[in-house]
């Protein structure tokens, strides 16, 4: 068994899944069907993302070694992701559930063992683009294959930076803290994904904008420290103030697909 199989990052004994640990690990072991070259490509993105994230958070939390963080990513097909989603009870650890879970392409499981399940991008995405967008990309990158590779790399880079940010966040059961951390992950993705690879939509941008507003109001170190650790140099007032910004109206605006919470 190679170093990078899921056996290297076992599930905790108690998880939020309605399956036992052996069943979960069996699902993941059977799903590892990406090629060595694809795994190497994805590992390169992970290591590059980790360099940026660890530098951003250097004064707050210790870096995750590259050799460790690549093992925290488990790449599966969409059917396996759906199977895990169906078996996961997000309310058991006060995580929050979205109405669009079927569209999930990456998710971090902090309570279950601090790892990420991701569906790598495929050429199927190419067909989801408009013909005009495909033509623009082909003209820019000279060949259709190079344009397709750019699309795959863009989606993988966005997901990896987002989910890697979550790996730096200390587990916390507070629901508003969870929402803060989602806005931080979108802010980090917007900041650290190269412009030509940025994948966005108005919902992502709204979350990133909200976190930027918190950064402007409370300072970047305070916002980061609160989101990462749940504390700000033991200043509970700042933490309380930041959390109070997640009013009912703000939550509905930022997370329109939220089902529980």
The model's pLDDT over 76-132, given as tens digits with 9 standing for 90+, comes to 888 877 777 777 665 554 444 443 444 557 777 766 666 777 777 776 777 777 888
Measured from the Cβ of residue 101, the count of other Cβ atoms closer than 10 Å reads 16
- Within its chain, how far is the Cα of 146 from the centroid? 26
3-state helix/strand/coil string of the chain: CCCCCHHHCCCCCCCCECCCHHHHHHHHHHHCCCCHHHHHHHHHHHHHHHHHHHHHCCCCCCCCCHHHHHHHEEECCHHHHHHHHHHECCCCCCCCCECCHHHCCEEEECCCCCEEEECCCCCHHHHHCCHHHHHHHHHHHCCHHHHHHHHHHHHHHHHHHHHHHHHCCCCCCCHHHHHHHHHHHHHHHHHHCCHHHCCCCHHHHHHHHHHHHHHHHHCHHHHHHHHHHCCCCCCHHHHHHHHHCCCHHHHHHHCCCECCC
* Residue 11: pLDDT over 60: no
The model's pLDDT over 193-240, given as tens digits with 9 standing for 90+, comes to 998 888 878 889 999 999 999 999 999 999 999 999 998 887 889 999
What pLDDT score does 218 carry? Answer: 96
Matching residue, tokens 């559930």: 97
The pair of three-digit structure tokens given for residue 202, joined into one six-digit string: 């108005």
Q: What pTM value is reported for the model?
A: 0.84
Residue 140 pLDDT grade (very low, low, confident, very high; cuts 50, 70, 90): confident
């Amino acid at each position: 068994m190679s170093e990078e199989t899921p056996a290297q990052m076992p599930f905790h004994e108690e998880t939020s899944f309605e399956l036992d640990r052996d069943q979960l690990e069996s699902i993941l072991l059977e799903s590892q069907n990406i090629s060595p070259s694809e795994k190497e490509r994805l590992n390169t993105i992970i290591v590059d993302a980790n360099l940026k994230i660890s530098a951003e958070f250097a004064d707050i939390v210790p870096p995750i070694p590259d050799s460790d963080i690549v093992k925290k990513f488990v790449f599966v097909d969409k059917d396996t992701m759906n199977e895990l989603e169906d078996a996961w009870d997000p309310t058991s650890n006060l995580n929050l559930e979205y109405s669009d879970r079927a569209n999930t392409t990456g998710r971090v499981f902090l309570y279950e063992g601090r790892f990420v399940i991701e569906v790598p991008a495929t050429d199927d995405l190419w067909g989801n683009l408009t013909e005009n967008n495909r033509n623009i990309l082909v003209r820019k990158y000279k060949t259709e294959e190079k344009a397709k590779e750019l699309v795959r790399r863009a989606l993988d880079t966005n997901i990896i930076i987002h989910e890697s940010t979550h790996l730096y966040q200390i587990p916390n059961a507070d629901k508003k803290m969870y929402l803060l951390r989602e806005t931080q992950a979108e802010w980090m993705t917007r900041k650290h994904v190269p412009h030509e690879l940025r994948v966005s939509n108005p919902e992502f941008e709204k979350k990133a904008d909200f976190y930027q507003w918190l950064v402007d109001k409370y300072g970047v170190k305070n916002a980061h420290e609160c989101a990462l650790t749940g504390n700000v140099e033991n200043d509970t007032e700042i933490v309380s103030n930041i959390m109070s910004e997640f009013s009912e109206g703000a939550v509905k605006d930022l997370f329109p697909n939220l089902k529980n919470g």
